[in-house]
Amino acid sequence: MSIRIHYSPLSQHSRRVRVAAMELGLDIDWRLIDFAKGENRAAEYLQKNPAGKVPTLDDDGLVLWESNAIMAYLADKKPQANLYPTDARARAQVNQWLFWESAHFGVAAITLTWERVMKQAFMQQPADPALVAQGERDWSRYAAILNGQLEGREYVAGALSIADFALASIVVHREAAGIDMKPYRHLQNWVDRMEARDSFQKTKPPF
Amino acid sequence: MLTLYGHVNPLSINTLKVRVALAEVNAEFRYQPVDLAKGEQHRAEFVALNPYAKIPLLVDDDFILAESDAIMWYLAETFAPARLLGTTPRERARTLQWCDFVSTGLYPAYYDLYLHTVSNAPDKRLPTIAESATKRLARSLGVLEPLLGKQETLTGQFSIADLSAAVVVRNIQDRLPFDVAAHPHLLAWYARVTTRGPWQAAMAAAAH
Ligand SMILES: N[C@@H](CCC(=O)N[C@@H](CS)C(=O)NCC(=O)O)C(=O)O
Ligand SMILES: N[C@@H](CCC(=O)N[C@@H](CS)C(=O)NCC(=O)O)C(=O)O
């Protein structure tokens, strides 16, 4: 039985998992979850993922959610691809960037994307100025750090890894969200490189 | 030799979980407090070690690692992988899932609520954030409660994910006007985690 993954084409967290699966050359049975129809809050789905979010993986009875954990699990199926290194220290560094993405960098990008793009598109609500200000402050702090890391490096942890997929997927709506890339040349160049990859090209969100 | 850079208060949430993990693997370490109130995390010597300018930070000879969950994972992997992470790829994936659940769900909900009801100056407390954080916190605890009614730990065997979650539950009880009494399974699990020897040892060490 092939691995099944529930996802939404609108979701950055789904996209990173689609990118990882494609880069790994894994055959996945993709199942669309329609937020508009409330499918992520349906009882059957909540039984798999009580958080009611996408993505969720089901591999022959192993039900797993949280996009970074799913990427790690998929990458461990193809250790030779080295997208999630097996050496303890190299893996720790990839973990460090994954956790930093989900706790800091990603939160800043999501705040600006949610306030300036999604909230209006899906809930017809205006952006909250206090949250935008917080998002801007956090973005400039964290973007500078990632930019520094990418100076003289092709990828965040040296070699291409699932951390690059996590970090690059979260800034997809940067233009509409007013996420300022101009001061961060190395960050911009790296995002361009990531988005030029086949896996990113084939998983562009519908808007 | 391991060095841990952490909070001047060793019971501070992200520092505490690493200190308990160090006790779990029974590793000796040197403790180096970083005074955030004095902005020491932004000092050039510290930023040279950790460009994130945050604590905790672990230094293992020439290897430097930030992010509390990544640090716990590394300690577990180095000293006691089977016991603290799980043995099969599936068990390890679940451990990572629950660490991620805490860092993206439970912890930010707690922290936003803490900032906007307790810690920020009253004129910097935003009711909209407090409200959304209350909902998110209830939702996260609502994920944990039924799970912990069915099993002893988050993944089915004790792991670092239990430590990640327990330090948050500790702070919720200590610091928030939020009643967790409606979550008896969560409280029973919390008691199991915090009566473990290493947790007790880390608390005792912090008192010195
Ligand atoms: N930390 C989670 C976040 C997942 C997430 O927030 N998914 C969004 C779409 S990007 C979702 O499903 N939202 C629906 C909801 O929260 O109800 C992960 O990395 O998988
Ligand atoms: N995601 C990080 C969070 C670390 C964190 O927020 N540390 C706080 C103290 S608990 C800090 O260093 N704050 C200082 C700052 O951000 O300037 C982790 O899990 O280690």
Structure tokens belonging to residue B151: 């099993």
**C-alpha B55 to ligand 2 mean position (Å):** 5
Task: Examine the domain organization and report whether A70 and A19 are in the same domain.
Answer: yes
Nearest to B141 by CA among B100, B108, B113, B169: B169
Phi then psi for residue A133, to 5 deg, are -60, -45
CB atoms within 10 A of CB A10: 18
Structural domain tally of chain A? 2
The reply to whether A207 falls in a domain is: no
Cβ-count burial A22-37 (b if 16+ within 10 Å, e if not) = bbbebebeeeebeeee
User: What domain range includes position A20?
Assistant: 3-81
Structure tokens belonging to residue A166: 């996590």
The reply to whether A95 falls in a domain is: yes
Neighbouring C-alpha atoms within 13 Å toward the C-beta of A47: 4
CB contact under 8 A, A88 and B77: yes
Task: Examine the domain organization and report whether A151 and A92 are in the same domain.
Answer: yes
Minimum distance, in Å, between the CA of residue A180 and any CA atom of chain B: 19
Interface test with A, best of B18, B49, B67 (most A CBs within 10 A): B67
The residue that leads in pLDDT, B93 or A1, is B93
pLDDT in tens, A45-55: 999 999 999 99
Q: Which protein residue's CA is at the shortest distance from atom 14 of ligand 1?
A: A53
Task: Examine the domain organization and report whether A15 and A111 are in the same domain.
Answer: no
Q: Is A64 on the interface with B (CB under 8 A)?
A: yes
Task: Examine the domain organization and report whether A44 and A107 are in the same domain.
Answer: no
Rg (CA), chain B: 17
| Coil, strand or helix at A58 | strand
**Residue at a domain's end among A29, A48, A81:** A81
**Which is it for strands B63-66 and B57-60: parallel, antiparallel or unpaired?**
antiparallel
Task: Examine the domain organization and report whether A154 and A180 are in the same domain.
Answer: yes
Look-up of token digits 């705040």 = A111
| CB pairs A-B closer than 8 Å | 96
pLDDT in tens, A57-88: 999 999 999 999 999 999 999 999 999 999 99
pLDDT confidence of residue B178? 87
The reply to whether A73 falls in a domain is: yes
CA distance B159 to A32: 32
Looking at residue A185, which CATH number applies to its domain? 1.20.1050.10
Sheet holding B57-60, edge to edge: B29-34, B2-7, B57-60, B63-66
Determine whether the shortest distance from the Cβ of A52 to ligand 1 is under 6 A: yes
Nearest to B21 by CA among B175, B196, B174: B196
Interface test with A, best of B100, B103, B126, B144 (most A CBs within 10 A): B100
CA distance B93 to B90: 5
pLDDT confidence of residue B208? 78
- Cβ atoms of residues B13 and B72 within 8 Å: no
Structure tokens belonging to residue B150: 């069915």
Task: Examine the domain organization and report whether A21 and A75 are in the same domain.
Answer: yes
Looking at residue A8, which CATH number applies to its domain? 3.40.30.10
pLDDT confidence of residue B135? 96
pLDDT confidence of residue B114? 98
The reply to whether A144 falls in a domain is: yes
**Residue at a domain's end among A81, A102, A124:** A81
The reply to whether A166 falls in a domain is: yes
Instruction: Tell me the helix, strand and coil percentages in chain A, rounded to 5.
Output: 60, 10, 30
Task: Examine the domain organization and report whether A64 and A117 are in the same domain.
Answer: no
Residue to mutate, A53, A65, A172, A173, ligand 1, most ligand atoms under 8 Å from C-beta: A53
pLDDT of residue A1 exceeding 80, the answer is no
* Atom in ligand 1 nearest the alpha carbon of residue B101: 1
pLDDT in tens, A87-138: 999 999 999 999 999 999 999 999 999 999 999 998 999 999 999 999 999 9
Q: How many helices (H) and strands (E) does chain A have?
A: 10, 4
Structure tokens belonging to residue A151: 């100076």
- Cβ atoms of residues B70 and A95 within 8 Å: yes
The reply to whether A206 falls in a domain is: no
Structure tokens belonging to residue B66: 């930030």
Look-up of token digits 């009880």 = B173
pLDDT confidence of residue B204? 96
Task: Examine the domain organization and report whether A140 and A46 are in the same domain.
Answer: no
Q: In chain A, which residues have their Cβ closer than 8 Å to the Cβ of B93?
A: 62, 64, 69-70, 72-73, 76
Interface test with B, best of A5, A49, A95, A97 (most B CBs within 10 A): A95
pLDDT confidence of residue B65? 98
Task: Examine the domain organization and report whether A130 and A148 are in the same domain.
Answer: yes
Task: Examine the domain organization and report whether A70 and A92 are in the same domain.
Answer: no
CA distance A110 to B51: 22
Task: Give the model's confidence band at A139: pLDDT under 50 very low, under 70 low, under 90 confident, else very high.
Answer: very high
Question: Is the predicted ipTM greater than 0.95, yes or no?
Answer: yes
CB contact under 8 A, B103 and A62: no
| Helix (H), strand (E), coil (C) string for A83-112 | CCCCCHHHHHHHHHHHHHHHHHHHHHHHHH
Task: Examine the domain organization and report whether A75 and A171 are in the same domain.
Answer: no
Task: Examine the domain organization and report whether A68 and A145 are in the same domain.
Answer: no
Ligand having the closest approach to the CA of B167: 2
CA distance B180 to B200: 22
The reply to whether A182 falls in a domain is: yes
In one letter, which amino acid is B2?
Answer: L
CA distance A115 to A95: 28
Q: Which of residues 159-178 of B touch A (CB under 8 A)?
A: none
Tens digit of pLDDT per residue, chain B (208 long)?
899 999 999 999 999 999 999 999 999 999 999 999 999 999 999 999 999 999 999 999 999 999 999 999 999 999 998 899 999 999 999 999 999 999 999 999 999 999 999 999 999 999 989 999 999 999 999 999 999 999 999 999 999 999 999 999 999 999 998 889 999 999 999 999 999 999 999 999 998 7
Residue to mutate, B55, B73, B101, B104, ligand 2, most ligand atoms under 8 Å from C-beta: B55
The reply to whether A22 falls in a domain is: yes
**Residues 6+ positions from B184 with CB-CB distance below 8 Å:** none
| Coil, strand or helix at B64 | strand
**Residue at a domain's end among A36, A55, A81:** A81
pTM metric for this prediction: 0.97
